Structure 1
Amino acid sequence: MSTLYLIRHGQASFGTDNYDQLSQTGRKQVQLLGEYFAEAGERIDRIYTGTLQRQKETAEIIASALGSTVPPVAVDGAFDEYDSDVMLREFAGSLTAAELAEAGWPELRHDRRKFQFFLERAARAWVEARIEATAMLPWKNFHGRITGALQRIMQSEGRSKTLMISTSGGVIGTTVAHVLGLSNHMGVELNWAVHNASITRLIYSSEKVSLSMFNALPHLDRQGRRELITYR
């Protein structure tokens, strides 16, 4: 059997000019995560990461924390998150002026609660193919890109490997729903539950893939660190 860890990136810089970078809290979350894996003594054979800066920063911090057993890091765009900016823009374009005013668009980008509610509505529209744009992958293509890449990695890496993927909540939710045979809508719902710098673990062989851990925070869920637990 082999092990595949799906790691959500640390907290990004919500509300700033450049969301796609780790915040100070995000870097701390990931540093503690890397130290957790180092202390566990489990050898990581390779770390994969998407191309987004917050994903690559997360992979680099974890790799560095592993010390003398630093694994190689491979960049694979298949593990990039969906483009929320395009999704939100297209969804906003599908609403009436009154609906936009009620939602608070576009000022809601600086309000975490309103932003999350609007993003959830946009994501449902995306999954149901009610919005589309040339700059945005259809849901079925996003799903296929992820599952295809996972299958390729599992086949190419061989047996008895321990791998890690630094990615995002949408990728993790989609993967878990796929492994459990859940609906596309459940994949999106799982996305909202995934904490920053959390651990999801898959166990796999040539015949089967199983979920053995979801959204765990053993490095943060303890006294003196719980204030570092975040969703966004």
Structure 2
Amino acid sequence: MSTIYLVRHGQASFGTDNYDRLSATGREQARQLGKYFAELGERIDRIYSGSLRRQTETAELIGEAFADGAPPIAIEPAFDEYDSDLILHTFAQSLTPEQLAEAGWPELRTDRRKFQFFLERAARAWVEAQIEAETMTPWRGFHGRIVSAIENIMRTEGRSKTLIVSTSGGVIGTLVANVMGLSNHTGIELNWAVHNASITRLIYSAEKVSLSMFNGLPHLDRADMRQLITYR
């Protein structure tokens, strides 16, 4: 059997001019995650990462925790998160001025609760193919890209491997739903539950792939670390 640890990146810089970088909290989350993996005493054969900065920073900080040398990092853009900005703006264009005003668009980016509610509405519309834009990857393309990438890793890495994939909540939710045979809607809804720097574990062989942990925080869920537990 082989293991893939899907890890969500540490907290990004929500509400700043560059979301795609780790916050100070996000960097500490990633360091603690790396420390956890290093102390497991389990050989990590490779770390895969999406190409987004918050994903690669997380992968690098995990690797730095290994005193005997960091596992090699392979960049795989297939594990990039969906383009939430494009989805939000495309969804906003489908609404009336009155609906936009009620939602608080576009100022809602400074309000986490309003932003999350609007993003959930936009993501549902995306999954249901109710919105589209020339440069926007449709849901079926996003889903297919991720599933193909994870299947390629399982096929090419060989037996008895332990791998880490540094990615994002939407990717993790989509993969979990696919493994469990759940609906696309469930996959995107799982996204909202995924904590920053959490661990989701897949176990696979040539015959099957199974989920053995979802959204775990063994490195943070203790009294002296719980202040580091975040969703966004």
TM-score normalised over the length of structure 1: 0.99
Regions of 4+ moved over 6 Å: none
**1:48 to partner: Cα distance:** 0.3
**1:107 to partner: Cα distance:** 0.0
SS of equivalent to 2:174:
helix
- Structure 1 partner of 2:4: 4
State the Cα deviation string for residues 132-157 of structure 1 (Å, max 9, x = none): 11211100000000000000010000
**1:69 to partner: Cα distance:** 3.8
SS of equivalent to 1:21:
coil
The answer on whether the counterparts of 1:43 and 1:69 sit within 8 Å (CA) in structure 2 is: no
User: What is the identity, as a one-letter code, of the residue corresponding to 1:123?
Assistant: A
Matches within 5 A, 1:49-198: 49-198=49-198
User: Structure 1 unaligned runs (5+)?
Assistant: none
SS of equivalent to 1:14:
coil
Alpha-carbon separation, structure 2, partners of 1:99 and 1:221: 40
Alpha-carbon separation, structure 2, partners of 1:219 and 1:122: 33
**1:227 to partner: Cα distance:** 1.0
- Structure 1 partner of 2:44: 44
Alpha-carbon separation, structure 1, partners of 2:75 and 2:133: 26
**1:224 to partner: Cα distance:** 1.4
User: Structure 2 unaligned runs (5+)?
Assistant: none
The answer on whether the counterparts of 1:13 and 1:21 sit within 8 Å (CA) in structure 2 is: yes
User: What is the identity, as a one-letter code, of the residue corresponding to 1:226?
Assistant: R
Alpha-carbon separation, structure 2, partners of 1:136 and 1:195: 26
- Structure 1 partner of 2:217: 217
SS of equivalent to 1:38:
helix
